[in-house]
Amino acid sequence: MIVLGIESSCDETAAAVVADGSLRSNIITPQPDHTAYGGVVPEVASRLHELHIIPVVEQALAAAGTSIHDLTGIAATYGPGLAGALIVGLNFAKGLAQSLSLPFIGIDHMEGHLWANFLQDPPTADSYPYLCLLASGGHTHLWRVDGVGQYTLLGRSLDDAAGEAFDKGARLLGLGYPGGPAIEAVAEKGDPQSVDFPRPMKGSPKCDFSFSGLKTALYHHLRDLSESQQLKRQRHIAAAYQEAIVDSLLDRLQQGVRLTGLSRVCVAGGVSANARLRNRLDDWAASENLSISYPPLEFCTDNAAMIAMAGYVRLQAGDRSSLDLEVKPNLSLADHSRPSQTSQGHAQG
């Protein structure tokens, strides 16, 4: 089966081809035009997707050595994301599927992130069950995964997502967007113990996350410093802030392992690119004899390879979407996944 995947939920126009479970091509056209605004401007994003979608799909097919007529399935993100941005990729994909009479599947962007862990080694029966931390700019979720489409939500952020905490923290620190890589770079030479930021939800019996109090603590800390003190201490504050986010994610994962007894852990989404997070999680996994994996760096942030892979496994499993599928900007994976009968732990809706 040769699947074309299309992703346009935010500010990346992306297309990729997965053939028989192997990634054949992965093209991303980012939209640097938003940098000056310090965030993504929805109207600008939609217009740029319109400009980029055809060349990006053509490049993905050419790089895969595939003709449009070799395709046997089409997948596209239908939510969550910016409505005007999603419409461009979804309608293009549906039009292509209809004109070529191909099966079509709409993919939840967060389910795509989940499948990024299998872009190098396709899943086998032994891959399940496992615990998956999805930490992106819009969502922070802890899942138990029992198979294709069988996901049980164990916990989610009650307010900001982990990536959002990085982005908002970076803005307060006067760093660029996206905030995660900006904070990570500055924090490299800083002392993570220099400020005692709170670890929201630490020790909670559930697996939920919370990051908005941390952002407020950073705001108060900076407010008490002069501009020159802020600049002088920037790397230490950034390192301590990053450490608080990492500690919170680690604590919630530890609780997930305690509740489920699972020994396999995957981490995905933009925040999984963070080197400090990976180091801390690797040390924990080694000390607890757990297996832990992350997508290669290029597949942590938004891409179409993960959408093509999710589309491939869903189409292989016999799942199909109707061509009247509409974009769902507030789509929640918890609302359309099938919790496993055997799943343990505290599931939430």
* Chain positions contacting Zn ion, by CB under 5 A: 136, 302
**CA–CA dist 54, 321 (Å, integer):** 22
Compare residues 136 and 255 and give the one whose CB is closer to Zn ion.
136
> Taking CB under 6 A as the rule, does residue 273 contact ligand KG4?
yes
Compare residues 188 and 196 and give the one whose CB is closer to ligand KG4.
188
**CA–CA dist 49, 327 (Å, integer):** 15
> Taking CB under 6 A as the rule, does residue 108 contact ligand KG4?
no
> Taking CB under 6 A as the rule, does residue 179 contact ligand KG4?
yes
> Taking CB under 6 A as the rule, does residue 16 contact ligand KG4?
no
Compare residues 117 and 340 and give the one whose CB is closer to ligand KG4.
117
- Part of the chain binding ligand KG4 (CB under 6 A), chosen from 59-67, 117-125, 164-172, 252-260: 164-172
Q: Which of residues 233-252 bind ligand KG4 (CB under 6 A)?
A: none
42 prior amide bond cis, ω within 30: no
Q: In what order do the strands lie in the sheet with 291-293?
A: 150-156, 140-147, 130-135, 264-268, 291-293
Q: Closest approach of Cβ 38 to ligand KG4, in Å?
A: 12
Q: Say if residues 321 and 15 touch (Cβ distance below 8 Å).
A: no
Integer angstrom CA distances of residue 67 from 64, 84, 142: 9, 28, 39
Q: Closest approach of Cβ 8 to ligand KG4, in Å?
A: 12
Of 270, 295, 311, 345, the residue at the interface with ligand KG4 (CB under 6 A) is: 270
CA geometry: angle 298, 111, 117, nearest 5 deg: 40
**CA–CA dist 293, 159 (Å, integer):** 26
DSSP symbol at 119: S
Q: Which amino acid is at 225?
A: L
> Taking CB under 6 A as the rule, does residue 163 contact ligand KG4?
yes
Q: Closest approach of Cβ 101 to ligand KG4, in Å?
A: 32
- Part of the chain binding ligand KG4 (CB under 6 A), chosen from 88-96, 214-222, 253-261, 270-278: 270-278
| Residue 167 partner contact from Zn ion, ligand KG4, none using kind-dependent CB cut-offs of 5 to 8 Å | ligand KG4
**CA–CA dist 185, 176 (Å, integer):** 11
Q: What values do phi and psi take at 340, rounded to 5? A: -70, 145
**Residue closest to ligand KG4 (Cβ):** 180
Q: Which amino acid is at 98?
A: Q
Q: Which amino acid is at 157?
A: S
- In sequence order, the β-bridge partners of residue 14 are 7, 28
Compare residues 77 and 340 and give the one whose CB is closer to ligand KG4.
77
Q: What values do phi and psi take at 92, rounded to 5? A: -60, -45
Compare residues 270 and 345 and give the one whose CB is closer to Zn ion.
270
Q: Closest approach of Cβ 2 to ligand KG4, in Å?
A: 26
Of 155, 269, 311, 345, the residue at the interface with ligand KG4 (CB under 6 A) is: 269
| Residue 274 partner contact from Zn ion, ligand KG4, none using kind-dependent CB cut-offs of 5 to 8 Å | ligand KG4
> Taking CB under 6 A as the rule, does residue 136 contact ligand KG4?
yes
Integer angstrom CA distances of residue 123 from 1, 115, 148: 16, 9, 10
**CA–CA dist 32, 27 (Å, integer):** 16
> Taking CB under 6 A as the rule, does residue 184 contact ligand KG4?
yes
> Taking CB under 6 A as the rule, does residue 274 contact ligand KG4?
yes
Q: Which of residues 298-337 bind ligand KG4 (CB under 6 A)?
A: 301-302
Residues that bind ligand KG4 (CB under 6 A): 113, 136-138, 163-164, 166-167, 178-181, 184, 269-271, 273-274, 301-302
